[in-house]
Amino acid sequence: MTLTQDQPRHQILILAVERDPHVRKFEQFFLEEAGYRVEFIDNGEQALEQARLLLPDILLAEIMIPRLDGLSVCRALKSDPATQHIAVLIFSILSAEDRAHEAGADAFLKKPLDDVALIRSIGQLLAQHTPTKRNASGAN
């Protein structure tokens, strides 16, 4: 993934781990409408692998996902110097905000999907993580 000079700004990449296809459709619609690029992953193992490969700006993960739960994915990303800068937003039907923050999550949203809250949370995470984000020149 290489940024070119003609791109006005880095298009934010959100890696989303969501098992419900209906929620996926809504997440994709709302996030793309807000100008973000979204890649979907089916399970926690793939999420960890793709996060290490793509280095997304944000990982949006459900807790209850196959193979490796969202909290374990969060812990793994936050404990690795190569991926600890990735902002993690846990999105769950469970009332698990404390557990999410203990795992290292930067934010938590409770389902059902609220498009305004989702976009607001993404914006807040990006504002908080801007200094550590990579950019086209390679400078911090």
CATH of the domain at 123: 3.40.50.2300
Residue 70 or residue 137, greater confidence: 70
Name the pLDDT band for 129 (thresholds 50, 70, 90): confident
Name the pLDDT band for 6 (thresholds 50, 70, 90): very low
Q: Is residue 139 part of a domain?
A: no
**What pTM does this model have?**
0.85
Give the chain's domain count.
1
Q: Is residue 140 part of a domain?
A: no
- For the chain, the straight-line distance linking the first and the last C-alpha, in angstroms and rounded, comes to 18
Q: Is residue 15 part of a domain?
A: no
* Mean pLDDT, rounded, for 9-32: 91
Name the pLDDT band for 5 (thresholds 50, 70, 90): very low
Residue 62 sits in which domain range? 39-131
- Which residues, listed in sequence order, are joined to residue 88 by a DSSP beta bridge? 59
Q: Is residue 91 part of a domain?
A: yes
Q: Is residue 20 part of a domain?
A: no
Contact 68, 49 (CB under 8 A): no
Q: Is the pLDDT score of 89 beyond 70?
A: yes
Q: Is residue 27 part of a domain?
A: no
* Mean pLDDT, rounded, for 40-55: 96
Residue with token string 């999420």? 47
Name the pLDDT band for 11 (thresholds 50, 70, 90): confident
Q: Is residue 83 part of a domain?
A: yes
Q: Is residue 44 part of a domain?
A: yes
- Cβ contacts of residue 72 below 8 Å, gap of 6+? 44, 103
* Mean pLDDT, rounded, for 2-29: 77
